[in-house]
Amino acid sequence: MKPLDPTQFDRNRAEAATADRTYAGGMIRTQMNKRDWGIILFLAAIWGGAFFFIGVAVRHVPPLTYVWLRLTIASGGLWIYLWLKGERPGLPRHIWASIFLLALLNNAVPFVLIGWGEIHIASGLAAILNATTPIWGVVVAHFLTHDERMSPGKLGGVLLGVAGVAVMVGPSILSNIGNDALAQLACVVASLSYALAAVWARRYRKMGISPFAVTTGQLTAGAVILLPLSLAFDRPWTLPAPPLGAWAAIAALALVCTAFAYVLYFRLIAQAGATNAMLVTLLVPPIAIFLGGLFLDEALTAGDFIGLGLIALGLAAIDGRLLGRLQSLRGSSRFSALPETE
């Protein structure tokens, strides 16, 4: 028998250990921990104001140009940050095609559709239509992933959450459904695009690419996609200069609601999966309503608290731990109720 080379044995052992760590790094938690929930609440607070900023921006800047400015400023901010730190995104050449597809699904298509939709419908209605993203996410993840399958609890929780958002937004806005049907359809298609993008973004953790690098690449690719479209259709050089308020809204959307928020969002997808990450869209409308009550003296109604309760029940059903505890308590009570035998 051929003698074993000790150096070859060491190399094989190192390769096996590396492969094991790579596989473990790609695993997704189906139940979120406190840190995951904290990121979701923080993102919801950031994106709760995004629809207001979008409404301000598109009143003065056409949708294609507004999205290009948003993505250009956001990507530019991230590149400046990397330059100051003396770093690079570290994106291999062979993944740029998938990064461009991610930018199309997560930025170009939904940003343009929502921006155009908010020209014709209220920002509150756009927010509730955007809250259908988790429903699309449950369906898309069920068919396109192996570890985020649909369950009755998950689907029921999403439906409860959407019902809660509908109650909070109120019948006055819901009564407008049917008017401006194309604008509403645009917001729904944007939600489906977000769901597809979230599932697509799962692949980058297994490749060992950081959320910061994915965000930088995605926003850069999105700006490249939108530039020729803006020049061809909006002809921005012929438009009047936007007022200072519109520039402030676009800057806030770019640096806070896009660059910073997407780094957190992709980190959440890598840790807790696409379906869980998309739950943030359920919390955006209620947080926007409560921020209005806290800072703008807008009155909170009983419907707001009922809707918040429905959302909380939906999130608990999706998380699964509360249902599991109830089932275990029920099982233990049945066991204790059994008659004793001699």
CA–CA distance, 134 with 127 (Å, rounded to integer): 13
Among 27, 28, 26, 194, residue whose Cα is nearest residue 102 = 194
Tokens in use for 327?
A: 């089932």
Q: Which helix (H) or strand (E) holds 57?
A: helix 50-57
201 close to 83: Cβ distance less than 8 angstroms: no
Query: 99: domain range?
Result: 34-319
In a domain, 39, yes or no: yes
- Would 324 be classed as within a structural domain? no
Residue 339's pLDDT is 57
Query: Which tokens go with 164?
Result: 């809660």
Q: What pLDDT, on a 0 to 100 scale, did the predictor assign at position 333?
A: 56
Rounded CA-CA distance 54/300 in Å is: 24
Distance from C-alpha of 303 to C-alpha of 290, rounded to nearest angstrom: 12
Look at residues 191, 177, 71, 88 and name the one whose alpha carbon lies nearest to residue 124.
177
For residue 226, give both structure tokens. Answer: 């939108």
CA dist., res. 182 & res. 120, Å (int): 9
d(CA 282, CA 297): 23
What does the pLDDT read at residue 85? 86
Contact indicator for 63, 115 with CB cutoff of 8 Å:
yes
Q: What are phi and psi of 177, to 5 degrees?
A: -65, 130
Question: What's the pTM value of the predicted model, to 2 decimals?
Answer: 0.74
330 in a structural domain = no
Which residue has tokens 């890598």?
270
Q: Would you say residue 278 lies in a domain?
A: yes
Of 59, 101, 64, 80, which Cα lies nearest the Cα of 227?
64
Which residue in 211, 307, 250, 264 sits closest to 54, CA to CA?
250
Q: At what angle do helices 50-57 and 63-85 cross, to 10 degrees?
A: 120
pLDDT for 208 equals 87
Number of domains observed in the structure of the chain? 1
Distance of CA 179 to the CA centre of its chain: 27
**Looking at this protein, which amino acid is placed at residue 339?**
P
Q: CB of 264 within 8 A of CB of 39? A: yes
Q: Write down the pLDDT at residue 318.
A: 66
Task: Let me know if residue 197 belongs to a domain.
Answer: yes
The pLDDT score that the predictor gives to residue 334 is: 57
Q: Is residue 135 part of a domain?
A: yes
Give pLDDT, residue 19: 37
Asked if residue 342 is part of any domain, the answer here is: no
Whether 76 maps to a domain, the answer reads yes
Per-residue pLDDT tens digits of the chain, which is 342 residues long: 455 455 554 544 444 444 334 334 455 566 778 888 899 989 988 988 787 788 888 889 999 999 999 999 999 999 999 999 888 888 888 999 999 999 999 999 999 999 898 888 777 677 777 877 888 888 888 888 887 787 777 778 778 877 776 776 666 666 666 667 788 888 889 989 999 999 999 889 888 898 999 999 999 999 999 999 999 999 999 999 999 999 999 999 999 999 999 999 998 988 888 878 888 877 887 776 666 566 656 555 677 677 767 777 776 776 665 556 556 656 655 555 555 554
C-alpha 143/C-alpha 150 separation (Å) is 9
